Amino acid sequence: MEQQQNLANGASLPFMKMHGLGNDFVVIDGRKTGGQPEPAVIAAMADRHFGIGFDQLAVILPSAEVDARLVFYNADGSISGACGNATRCVARYLLDESGASELRIATDHAILIAQEAGNGLTRVNMGPPVLDWRRIPLAEDVDTLHLPIEGDPVATGMGNPHMTFFVEDIGAIHLENFGPIHENHALYPERTNVEVVQIVSRDEIILRIWERGTGITLASGSCSCASVVAAARRGLTNRRVKVNVPGGVLEIDWREDGVWMTAPTAHVFDGIWRG
């Protein structure tokens, strides 16, 4: 991988604003800028009042082995190992740029396959879920299907850690308080994303999301994947599920070769950051 310089405050930085079902991102094409912003710059860009505003930031980097490499950051400037909706947004950009129908994109989690799905949809294979406690990672050896936490959540890794709760009434959960308490639970040494799920049927769920380092979001690809994996492992749903999030609908399909995610994307505008 080519060495990339960090871009400090004061640098002129072209960016793209994209979203997947309201889960919004700043995307920087590092193949053209020759670098990526420092954590302090990322946090400044993320501010929705004094900056651009986003849930995560993605940097596209060149790669000799695959079509591109992606690095993800949370709104607080910390690294995020995976971001499914940002991957789909970037995949859409790269598919349109290249005219290809399929791409291979490297992330810290795995090499992901992205495909043209037709009707304005983009499909990404997020790879197999991680179910081993060491690799999620958790602080100790526990049953990942039944964590020793009030509410009986499930632990899953999708390139980032997840804690999934199943509830009867999703509207009764005060996510503003519930999310940060569990994000910072001692069982998760790297913090965790928190999902609250209400089962509609064996083929449909409702999902609310608290993302580590960001907070409440309208959608999340990795959280949607983790929730379906958790529900299927519990025997609550099938492995192909319609996931309703506040920003819209994703189709998640847990196949033998990984967890596939299909949904629309939007390229909202381009700009230049002059922080």
On whether both 40 and 98 belong to a single domain, the answer is: yes
Binding residues for substrate: 23, 56, 74, 84-85, 160, 193, 211-212, 221-222
Residue 10 lies in a domain: yes
Q: Are 145 and 133 in contact (CB under 8 A)?
A: no
pLDDT at position 142 is 98
Q: Quick check: is 79 in a domain?
A: yes
In this prediction, residue 35 carries a pLDDT of: 75
**pLDDT (0 to 100) of residue 3:** 43
Question: Would you call 89 a catalytic residue per the annotation?
Answer: no
* Residues linked to residue 253 through DSSP beta bridges, in sequence order: 240, 260
56 & 167 share domain? no
Of the candidates 41, 31, 32, 57, the residue with the CA atom closest to the CA atom of residue 6: 41
Binding site: residue ranges? 23, 56, 74, 84-85, 160, 193, 211-212, 221-222
Domain region containing 227: 154-262
Cβ contact 160:222 at 8 Å: yes
Position 210 in a domain: yes
- Whether residue 243 is contained in a domain is answered as yes
pLDDT, position 2: 42
Same domain, 119 and 218: no
Note whether 119 and 158 are same-domain residues: no
pLDDT tens per residue across all 275 residues of the chain: 344 556 555 568 999 999 999 999 999 999 998 878 899 999 999 999 999 999 999 999 999 999 999 999 999 999 988 899 999 999 999 999 999 999 999 998 889 999 999 999 999 999 999 999 999 999 999 999 999 999 999 999 999 999 999 999 999 999 999 999 999 999 999 999 999 999 999 999 999 999 999 999 999 999 999 999 999 999 999 999 999 999 999 999 999 999 999 999 999 999 999 87
Q: What pLDDT is stored for residue 36 in this prediction?
A: 80
Same domain, 179 and 93: no
- Which one-letter DSSP state was computed for residue 7? E
At 115, list the tokens: 């495909």
Indicate if 46 and 89 belong to the same structural domain.
yes
Q: Say whether both 174 and 112 belong to one domain.
A: no
Specify the pLDDT at position 81: 81
Per the domain annotation, does 82 fall within a domain?
Answer: yes
Q: Based on the structure, what is the number of domains in the chain?
A: 2
Find out whether 224 and 84 touch, Cβ atoms under 8 Å. Answer: yes
Confidence (pLDDT) at 34: 80
Same domain for 62 and 172? no
Domain annotation covers residue 100: yes
Q: Which pLDDT belongs to residue 227? A: 98
- Say yes or no: 117 and 18 in one domain: yes
Give the pLDDT of residue 115. 97
Spatial CA neighbour of 88 closest among 263, 233, 254: 263
Q: How far apart are CA 180 and CA 188, in angstroms?
A: 12
| pTM of structure | 0.91
Residue 250 pairs with which residues in a beta bridge? 243
Give the strand pairing for 240-245 and 248-255. antiparallel
| 158 is a domain residue | yes
**Residue 210, domain CATH:** 3.10.310.10
Q: From the candidates 83, 89, 223, 225, give the one annotated as an active-site residue.
A: 83
E-strand stretches of 85-239: 102-106, 111-118, 121-125, 154-157, 161-166, 193-201, 204-211, 215-217
* In a shared domain, residues 18 and 108: yes
Query: Does residue 142 sit within a domain?
Result: no
CA distances from 209 to 17, 95, 104, 174 (A): 21, 28, 28, 11
CA distance 1 to 151: 43
The reply to whether 91 and 23 lie within a common domain is: yes
